[in-house]
């Protein structure tokens, strides 16, 4: 049995609407409730909403920041890790999660899905990506069940 905490990377856009913000918050809450560590890019949008949800559920959050300043992290990040490598941090976000959850986003999110597939990480598609190799879910209940199934063997 592995003694390390299970990590779940949440990926998605920084420019989001209220519906996506609520989805991200709920996803983060599920991750926190499952006692997994939430990893994200640490900034605004999906990243902030998911981190807020995880914190509300008592979870731990890590933000892999693109720049060099910890102060750039959103207020719900417990551990801010400046990478100084800009978008190249997307590879780190994908590699750091035992499971990746993809919410709506743009090119950065698409690159993270691709990296996750290259690294052999399971990607739960909750953002309509329809990318080969991802696990599509339609509801929060489906997402929670699939996440439980994926992390069961990691514990």
Residue-wise pLDDT for 93-133, tens only, equals 999 999 999 999 999 999 999 999 999 999 999 999 999 99
Confidence check: pLDDT of 23 > 80 = yes
- 36 DSSP assignment: P
pLDDT of 155 higher than 90: no
Q: What is the pLDDT of residue 45?
A: 98
Given the candidates 3.40.50.450, 3.40.50.2300, 3.40.50.10480, 3.40.50.720, the CATH classification of the domain at 11-96+107-130 is 3.40.50.450
CB 131 within 8 A of CB 125: yes
Spatial neighbors of 76 by CB under 8 A, at least 6 apart, are 48, 51, 52, 54, 55, 61
Question: Mean pLDDT across the chain, nearest whole number?
Answer: 96
pLDDT value, residue 2? 61
Task: Give the DSSP H/E element, type plus range, for residue 37.
Answer: strand 37-40
For the residues 136-145, what does the mean pLDDT come to? 98
- The domain limits of the chain are 11-96+107-130
pLDDT of residue 50: 98
Residue with tokens 């929670």: 144
Model's pTM, two decimal places? 0.96
For residue 8, give the 3-state DSSP assignment. Answer: strand
The pLDDT of 25-29, averaged and rounded, is 98
Buried b / exposed e along 128-141 (16+ C-beta atoms within 10 A) = ebeeeebbbbeeee
Percent with pLDDT over 90 in the chain: 95
**Pairwise CA distance, residues 51 & 53, whole Å:** 5
Residue 87 pLDDT exceeds 60: yes
């Amino acid at each position: 049995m592995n003694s390390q905490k299970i990590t779940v990377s949440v990926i998605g856009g920084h420019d989001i609407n209220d519906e996506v913000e609520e989805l991200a918050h709920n996803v983060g809450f599920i991750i926190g409730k499952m006692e997994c560590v939430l990893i994200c890019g640490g900034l605004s949008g999906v990243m902030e909403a998911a981190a807020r949800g995880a914190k509300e559920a008592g979870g731990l959050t890590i933000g892999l920041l693109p720049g060099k300043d910890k102060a750039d992290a959103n207020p719900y990040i417990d551990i801010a890790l400046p990478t100084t490598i800009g978008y190249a941090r997307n590879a780190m976000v994908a590699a750091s999660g035992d499971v990746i959850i993809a919410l709506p986003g743009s090119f950065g999110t698409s690159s993270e899905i691709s990296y996750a597939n290259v690294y052999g990480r399971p990607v739960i598609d909750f953002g309509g990506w329809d990318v080969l190799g991802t696990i599509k879910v339609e509801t929060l209940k489906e997402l929670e069940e699939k996440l439980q199934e994926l992390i069961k063997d990691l514990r």
